[in-house]
Structure 1
Amino acid sequence: MSAISGGVMDLVRDDLRGFAGYSSARRAGVSGSIWLNANESAWRNPADSTVGANRYPDPQPAALRERLAGLYGVRAAQVLIGRGSDEAIDLLVRALCRPGEDAVLVAPPVFGMYAVSARLQGARLVELPLRDGAGGFSLDLQAVADAAVSSGAKLVFLCSPANPTGQAIAPADLLALARRLAGRCLLVVDEAYGEYSDQPSVAGWIDEQPNLAVLRTLSKAHALAAARIGCLLAAPELVELLRNCQAPYPLPSPSVQLALAGLSDAALAQTRGRVLTVRAERERLRHELPSCPGVLRVYPSQGNYLLARFEDAGAAFARLLAAGVVVRDMRASPQLGDALRLSIGSPGENDALLAALQAGRAAA
Structure 2
Amino acid sequence: MNAAADDVLALLRDDLRDFAGYRSARSETAAGAVWLNANEAARANAADADGSLRRYPPPQPEPLRAALAGLYGCSPERLLIGRGSDEAIDLLVRAFCRPGRDAVLVAPPVFGMYAVCARLQDARLHEVPLCERDGNFEADLDEIACVALEQAAKLVFLCSPGNPAGGVLSAADVLALAQGLSGHALVVVDEAYIEFADAPSLVASAASQANVVVLRTLSKAHALAAARIGCAIADARVVEALRRCQAPYPVPGPSAAQALAALTPPALSATGAAVAEVRSERARVAAALAHCPDVRRVYPSQANFLLARFADAAAAFERLLAAGIVVRDMRAMPQLGDALRITIGTPAQNDAALAALGRVEAAA
Normalised by the length of structure 1, the TM-score is: 0.96
| 1:44 is aligned to 2:44 | yes
| 1:261 is aligned to 2:261 | yes
State the SS of the aligned residue for 1:206: helix
State the SS of the aligned residue for 2:137: strand
Query: Cα deviation per residue 1:204-225 (whole Å; 9 max; x = unaligned)?
Result: 1333101001000000000000
| Contact 1:159 1:190 survives alignment (8 Å) | yes
1:291: how far off?
1.2
1:290: how far off?
1.4
State the SS of the aligned residue for 2:215: strand
1:104 alignment partner in structure 2: 104
Distance in 2 separating the partners of 1:180 and 1:124 = 21
Distance in 2 separating the partners of 1:352 and 1:51 = 45
| Contact 2:45 2:54 survives alignment (8 Å) | yes
1:23 alignment partner in structure 2: 23
Aligned structure 1 segments of 4 or more residues deviating by more than 4 angstroms: none
Instruction: Give aligned-pair identity as a percent.
Output: 61
State the SS of the aligned residue for 1:172: helix
| Contact 1:84 1:231 survives alignment (8 Å) | yes
Q: Give the counterpart letter for 1:54 in structure 2.
A: R
| Contact 1:293 1:360 survives alignment (8 Å) | no
| Contact 1:51 1:253 survives alignment (8 Å) | no
Distance in 1 separating the partners of 2:244 and 2:91 = 10
Query: Cα deviation per residue 1:6-65 (whole Å; 9 max; x = unaligned)?
Result: 231111000001110111011103411110000001111111113610000001000000
Matches within 5 A, 1:198-217: 198-217=198-217
Q: Give the counterpart letter for 1:109 in structure 2.
A: P
2:286 alignment partner in structure 1: 286
Q: Give the counterpart letter for 2:172 in structure 1.
A: A
1:115 alignment partner in structure 2: 115
1:247 alignment partner in structure 2: 247
1:132: how far off?
1.0
1:359: how far off?
7.0
| 1:89 is aligned to 2:89 | yes
Structure 1 unaligned residues grouped into runs of 5+: none
| Contact 2:289 2:359 survives alignment (8 Å) | no
Q: Paired residues, what number?
A: 358
Distance in 2 separating the partners of 1:206 and 1:64 = 22
1:12 alignment partner in structure 2: 12
Distance in 2 separating the partners of 1:51 and 1:276 = 39
Query: Cα deviation per residue 1:49-93 (whole Å; 9 max; x = unaligned)?
Result: 136100000010000000000010100000100000000000000
| Contact 1:157 1:188 survives alignment (8 Å) | yes
| Contact 1:51 1:254 survives alignment (8 Å) | no
| Contact 1:89 1:117 survives alignment (8 Å) | yes
